[in-house]
Structure 1
Amino acid sequence: MTAEIFRIGFLPLVDAALPILAHELGFAEREGIRVELVRDMTWATVRDRLLYGHTDAAHMIAPLAIATTLGRDRPPVPLGVPFVLGLNGNAVTFSSALAAEVGLSDGLGDPADTGAALRAVAGARKAAGKPLRFGVVHRYSSHNYMLRYWLAGVGIRPDEDVEIVVTSPPFAADALAAGEVDGICVGEPWNSIAVDRGVGHIALATAQIWRRGVEKVLAMRETILDERREAVEAFVRALHAAAAHFVEPGSAEASADILARPEYLDAPRDAVLRAITDRIRVAPGGTPLHYPDFMFQYREAANFPWRSQAAWLYSQMVRWDYMAFDAAQAAAAGHVFRPDVYRRALAGSTAPLPGASSKLEGGLDEPIGAGSTQGRLTLGSDRFFDGRAFDPDDIEAYLAESP
């Protein structure tokens, strides 16, 4: 039998792990899939390769899949997301100078306390005509939305009190070092590289802003989903197997060896290993601290494409593009996430399959059993730092109550 070829675009980030490991460790081959990995340096290039057929699927920031489908910044092309590659795994890193002004310590900051200190600095800088500037990886990225959500929640108005610009992940530490930005919100290992270079200080993990926040996804054109359905489902199974392996005790060292290689992340192995094992070196020269579930790749149906997560991302798009809510657009945004494909691919396996496709986001303080059509499913805390919850069936009310 001839193997199905999947060309996958990716950026050099730790959360590109699952397609890389599916290829390197033979999980894809066992499903009859031959993976060809295409490394890029910007999300715009990853998206364009996908749209013009240079790749079949992509490791992609979740909001970009929605923005592409809705036609933000370019003609619309419907995309589908049958698999989530990971939750959280990003951080907000300040320049050394800003960290000193805010008074960061050797541990992660508290979102409210750090936000209050930052608000004072931002006000003074704005009054002096030199507003703080933060770098995010793309306008339509979870990094942008998580940063804005936190800033607004502590009384800092994005685009008014501070500036937010785009910087590619591999160049984020360089932007800090050059003084082009005062802070970055980026994925690993680039926060850790900024710290190890002595130019940055990690203020917060994005998991402190939204615990279990959706991050990277496997995205593909809807036409590929429809025309190559069996191959897509086989690849979903390969990714799920790679995810299970990724979190196995004793696998981290070998995974870090693979990911750090020049053709993948081309990054220091130790920085990659720290991210995989939930250890964060907050300040230059500091001892790495353990922050549980800094990255979240497998448990609690982490790979399931919840339509409520897509709906939250759409709510932030409405909010920060300063546009009106549109029910048809909200429905289209939710449809980008494809739990139906995920369920079909993993039916009959040991994977827990949620019975619902949407849920209240941010409503759990403690682990709780959830309904499933296959296997036993427990969902852990998914709180937002400000205690708000998001009902995907009432986006307009949520937006009306946003600060």
Structure 2
Amino acid sequence: MTPISIAFLPLTDSAVLIAAREKGFAEEAGIALDLVRTTSWATARDRLVYGQVQAAHMLAPLAIAVTLGLSQHPAALAAPFKLNVNGNALAMASDFAAALDPDPVRRLADPIAAAHDFAGAIGLHRRKPVIGIVHRFSCHALMLRYWLATAGVDADRDVTLRVLPPSLMVEAMRAGEIDGFIAGEPWGSVAVAEGLGEIVAAGSRIWQRGVEKVLAFRADWIEAQAETIDRLLPALARAAIWCDDPANHAELAELLERPGYVGRPAAELMPALTGQMVLRHGEPPVTVPDFMLFQREAANFPWRSQALWIYSQLVRWNMAEADEDNERRAADVFRSDIYRRALAGSGLPMPGASMKVEGALSTPTAVGAHEGALTLGPDRFFDGRAFDPQDVTGYLKGLAAIPPD
């Protein structure tokens, strides 16, 4: 058996790693999987960079930021496998949410109107709203910035963004230290269940099938351990298929519930798995289709175009310099070549291309694929814009042309 240690955070989107270990997929591939529970993304990053673990459940933008030298302890990282798409939610304290559209279903259905309501509520609040984010370099934070900017809100001026580990968000809200937070599940659902806040936006409605967590490795390790990677990734793909099957959701929630994993009641974990989300305490759940995907529609495939969208946002918010070298290095973090090599012969369909125009699909669309037929689901951004990875500069110029409200 080949031992592999992977750092993870107690989140619902760690499910594929937990299923790979607990359901025997890793063991069948000859891998002794050791999952190391970690409370913050900074610690997960450091464990990986300093070689305490071989891989990490990681925020996709953090993997790119570490590679570009934007985060502490720069190192070249590689992400050959996405662990999920979407799965985060913005929860705001009840007093703030009271200034928004009173119908929480309408808020979710119309993100643009909700963003404008949010902008208006800022001036009515008792202070500049303090919003918890899990890391500066997270898709959650980038989506929040993008969403607010549509309504003329400058996240660096009009709100205060405070970095906290996901598992501490609810307690910080209870203590009045933050007015809301955007984080991966189950923490938004926990805030709702405890009557502290309401879900006012969902990542899956800001960017359908948007990139979330990846499995990151040090680039030098992944190149030296090709045979191990070629056994690990198919095992994870099988685990992801198991996680996506609705027949397994109750059992998956029971696995995640264990203290060594997420450690929250199954009732708080099921909403993200089923897409049946309670938006306000005491109200019935509403269906949020495709709230989080683990495998279907090539969810695990590391699109280089998605890495470049992340890069574009880092440039947009003055976190990274715009230059050709940074653009190339960012795209190179998402290793679609390794994914294809490891999954060759698995029978799983995979995209024939490594980049696509992000946000261009409004309906399920058949695309060219290796090893079978592949249909991709809608991947629209809430504002209808599309991101052409061949023209990052043009995309950013288009965003800059949007006048603030």
Provide the aligned C-alpha RMSD in A: 1.2
C-alpha contact 1:173 1:190 (8 A) present in aligned 2: yes
Q: 1:147 aligns with which of 141, 144, 147?
A: 144
Deviation at 1:66, TM superposition (A): 0.3
The aligned runs of 1:242-253 (5 Å cut-off) are: 242-253=239-250
Q: Are positions 1:36 and 2:34 aligned together?
A: yes
Alignment of 1:3-402 (within 5 A): 3-107=1-105, 109=107, 110-125=110-125, 130-321=127-318, 323-402=320-399
CA distance in 2, matches of 1:181, 1:235: 40
Q: How many residues are aligned here?
A: 398
Cα distance in structure 1, aligned partners of 2:363 and 2:202: 20
Q: CA offsets per residue over residues 318-365 of structure 1, 9 Å max, x none?
A: 111355411110100000000111101111111112110000000111
Give the structure-1-normalised TM-score: 0.96
Deviations 1:122-155 (A, max 9, x none): 2445xx8x31121110000001001001000122
Task: Tell me the amino acid that sits aligned with residue 386 of structure 2.
Answer: A
Q: Hey, what's the Cα distance between the residues in 2 that align with 1:73 and 1:265?
A: 26
Distance 2:135 2:106 in 1: 24
Whole-angstrom CA distance in 2 between matches of 1:74 and 1:28: 32
Check whether the contact 2:246–2:274 (CA below 8 A) recurs between aligned residues.
no
Unaligned runs of 5+ in 2: none
**Distance in structure 1 (CA, Å) of the matches to 2:265 and 2:282:** 16
Once residues 31 and 328 of structure 2 are traced to their aligned partners in structure 1, the CA distance between those partners, rounded to angstroms, is 32
Contact kept in structure 1, 2:104 and 2:199, CA below 8 Å: no
Equivalent pairs: percent with the same residue? 47
Distance in structure 2 (CA, Å) of the matches to 1:14 and 1:249 = 15
Please tell me the residue identity of whatever aligns with 1:122.
Answer: I
1:220 match: secondary structure? strand
Gap runs ≥5 in structure 1? none
Q: Which runs of 4+ in 1 moved over 2 A?
A: 73-76, 103-108, 321-324
CA distance in 2, matches of 1:112, 1:262: 39
- Structure 1 residues 200-243: Cα deviation after superposition (integer angstroms, max 9, x where no partner): 10001111000010000000001111111111121100100001
Q: Distance in 2 between matches of 1:387 and 1:175?
A: 34
Q: Report the TM-score when normalising by structure 2.
A: 0.96
Distance (Å, rounded) in 1 between the aligned partners of 2:340 and 2:154: 41
Amino acid paired to 1:363 = A
Displacement of 1:105: 2.2
